[in-house]
């Protein structure tokens, strides 16, 4: 008998908000898509469905008794690279990919412990160090040629910045955004070639039996490791802790601080562009991170 999967209302709402017609089509197809892959890979649902903004994640058990998760998500420029990156990392610092369907982007992943998330740890400094150590593993891998590239993203950001600045009413905030763009312009000639996670915050790190912590849910691109630091600066945001976190991560990763700061400005510029282009005010925490990093010496 076909297993009926209830699609979470929050996932449907997020798809409606961010992906409009494509999101509605994805949600409408999910029940049949889920049933097809449960049958194709001989899986049995053995846990409560989970979801984020773009994916439905089902705890499952394979025919041989192996615990896994089935991840079904809408395909876009961010999610397309996920199975490629996971296959290259092959479990070194990240969740292991067990199977993958190229046309739909559906993945079968090893099951980690979703009840033990890095975000639940009390010691924020230790969580920052955990993220930095995981990034050291992930960045050791060069990105494949076809991976989306930070150089292209940076060029697009610089092209869009003048228009975005006209939509920032506060002169002080406008100067901060302009400073970020100026810093990015200085490093665009060397955008880097490492395989980046792009979204390694403390809710994207789970415990496992085979390793203390592993990264999940990458939105990979090829680029400079400095572009991967922002999530750990923003987790459980504390303005007085920004410099400690930045110094700790650049130390663990062995990064040039000036260059890492420039690419962190690039990530902050990306956030600011998204906010202004969607008609939202700039994020105050992001602006404060820019202010704090400006006080660093090279």
Catalytic residues: 199
| Closest to 71 (Cα-Cα) out of 85, 45, 51 | 51
**d(C-alpha 239, C-alpha 107), whole Å:** 38
> Which residues have CB under 8 Å from 160's CB, separation 6+?
273, 277
CB count within 10 Å of CB 151 equals 18
Q: Please, are residues 179 and 265 in contact by the beta-carbon 8 Å criterion?
A: yes
| C-alpha of 253 from chain center | 18
Backbone φ and ψ for 116, nearest 5 degrees, come out as: -120, 90
**d(C-alpha 292, C-alpha 60), whole Å:** 45
**d(C-alpha 6, C-alpha 49), whole Å:** 8
**d(C-alpha 123, C-alpha 176), whole Å:** 31
**d(C-alpha 220, C-alpha 94), whole Å:** 12
If residue 117 lies in a helix (H) or strand (E), which one and from where to where?
Answer: strand 113-117
């Amino acid at each position: 008998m076909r297993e009926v999967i209830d699609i979470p209302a929050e996932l449907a709402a997020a798809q409606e908000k961010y992906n409009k017609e494509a999101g509605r089509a994805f949600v409408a197809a999910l029940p049949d898509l889920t049933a097809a892959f449960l049958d194709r890979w001989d899986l049995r649902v053995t846990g409560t469905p989970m979801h984020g903004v773009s994916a439905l994640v089902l705890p499952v058990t394979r025919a041989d008794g192996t615990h896994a998760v089935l991840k079904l998500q809408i395909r876009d420029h961010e999610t397309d690279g996920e199975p490629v990156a996971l296959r290259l990392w092959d479990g070194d610092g990240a969740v292991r990919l067990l199977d993958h369907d190229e046309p739909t982007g559906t993945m079968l992943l090893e099951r980690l412990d979703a009840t033990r998330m890095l975000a639940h740890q009390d010691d924020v400094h230790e969580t920052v160090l955990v993220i930095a150590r995981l990034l050291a593993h992930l960045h050791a891998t060069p990105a494949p040629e076809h991976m989306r590239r930070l150089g292209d993203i940076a060029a697009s950001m610089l092209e869009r910045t003048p228009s975005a600045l006209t939509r920032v009413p506060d002169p002080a905030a406008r100067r901060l955004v302009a400073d970020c763009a100026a810093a990015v312009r200085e490093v665009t000639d060397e955008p880097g070639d490492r395989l980046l996670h792009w979204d390694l915050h403390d809710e994207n790190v789970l415990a496992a039996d085979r390793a203390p912590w592993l990264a999940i849910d990458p939105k990979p691109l090829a680029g400079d490791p400095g572009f991967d630091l922002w999530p750990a600066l923003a987790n459980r945001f504390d303005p007085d802790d920004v410099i400690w976190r930045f110094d700790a991560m650049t130390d663990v990763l062995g990064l040039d601080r000036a260059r890492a700061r420039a690419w962190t400005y690039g990530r902050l510029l990306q956030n600011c562009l998204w906010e202004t282009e969607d008609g939202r005010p700039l994020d105050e925490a992001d602006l404060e991170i820019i202010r704090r990093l400006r006080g660093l010496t090279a």
